[in-house]
Amino acid sequence: MTSLKAIVALAALGWSLSAAAGPLASPKRGLAFTPNDTTRVDDTIWITQPSCLTWYYNYKAEPEPTFSESFSQSEFEFVPMMWGAPEDASDTTFLETIKGLVKKGINITNVLSFNEPDGPWEWGGSDIEPAHAAKVWVSNLMPLQEMGIRVGLPATTGAPSGLVWLKSFLEECRKLVSTEKESRNCTYDFVTVHWYGNFEGLASHLGEYVAT
């Protein structure tokens, strides 16, 4: 992964990832894979033994052929990501894609959601309004949770705007799933954090998450 951009507390959150990738394998070690069609031959570097990697994501909903054709999910787990949001909040393409993978026999157990939704496109963010993100979550990600698939909280930037966005998103989501008789919340199964900076800053940032 780049810098300290990471999915935190994976072991504590109970990720059931195998250690089949080798003696150094760890459920804490995952790969943020960005394919480059001009250097496909280099893809195998990541899975050359000895490797400590047990899972990967590629910012997409479908696995990389280089890895899926060589390893089963129990050996090198693919974690789909819903990077951004469709313009139509009722568009369930992502949901249907994941269902299709499961139908093929691919054991999808974890899914990542929106990548830096509080960040602008020009900085690599998915730039989604919290209210729209909440609608997409309800139509695409909640059904996956009902299937027993674990879904991660959107990974906002490390800027102060990140937690502001998350609070707004969860409130908008609560409005959608609550009824006149019952106030409910949208749930998430693990927390994802992006951070670029020193350890002290990361510790402080995580403290803000805990206090939220």
Averaged over 103-131, what is the pLDDT? 93
Cα atoms found within 13 Å of the Cα of residue 52, Cβ hemisphere only: 5
pLDDT at residue 120 in the model: 84
Higher pLDDT, 195 or 150: 150
Q: Are 191 and 153 in contact (CB under 8 A)?
A: yes
**Residue 182 burial class via C-beta count within 10 angstroms: exposed 0-12, middle 13-18, buried 19 and up:** exposed
pLDDT band (50, 70, 90) for residue 105: very high
For the entire predicted model, the pTM comes to: 0.83
Asked if the model's pLDDT at residue 61 lies above 60, the reply is yes
pLDDT at residue 6 in the model: 38
Helix, strand, coil percent content, the chain, rounded in steps of 5 = 35, 10, 55
Q: What's the token pair of residue 81?
A: 């990501």
> Pick from 80, 151, 174, 166: which is nearest to 116 by CA?
166
How far, in Å, CA of 149 to CA of 70, rounded? Answer: 23
Q: Are 24 and 50 in contact (CB under 8 A)?
A: yes
How far, in Å, CA of 136 to CA of 53, rounded? Answer: 31
pLDDT at residue 28 in the model: 73
Asked if the model's pLDDT at residue 25 lies above 70, the reply is no
State whether residue 143 is helix, strand or coil.
Answer: helix
The predicted-structure confidence for 166-202, as pLDDT tens digits, reads as follows 999 999 999 999 887 778 889 999 999 888 888 888 8
Asked if the model's pLDDT at residue 5 lies above 80, the reply is no
Residues 6+ apart with CB under 8 A from 13: 189, 190, 191
pLDDT at residue 13 in the model: 34
Q: Are 68 and 92 in contact (CB under 8 A)?
A: no
Q: What's the token pair of residue 49?
A: 């033994």
Residue 24 identity: L
Asked if the model's pLDDT at residue 29 lies above 90, the reply is no
pLDDT at residue 91 in the model: 97
User: Highest mean pLDDT range out of 8-17, 121-130, 143-152, 173-182?
Assistant: 143-152
pLDDT at residue 66 in the model: 84
Asked if the model's pLDDT at residue 46 lies above 90, the reply is no
Q: Are 146 and 185 in contact (CB under 8 A)?
A: no
pLDDT at residue 9 in the model: 34
Asked if the model's pLDDT at residue 73 lies above 50, the reply is yes
How far, in Å, CA of 51 to CA of 48, rounded? Answer: 6
How far, in Å, CA of 14 to CA of 23, rounded? Answer: 20
pLDDT band (50, 70, 90) for residue 62: very high
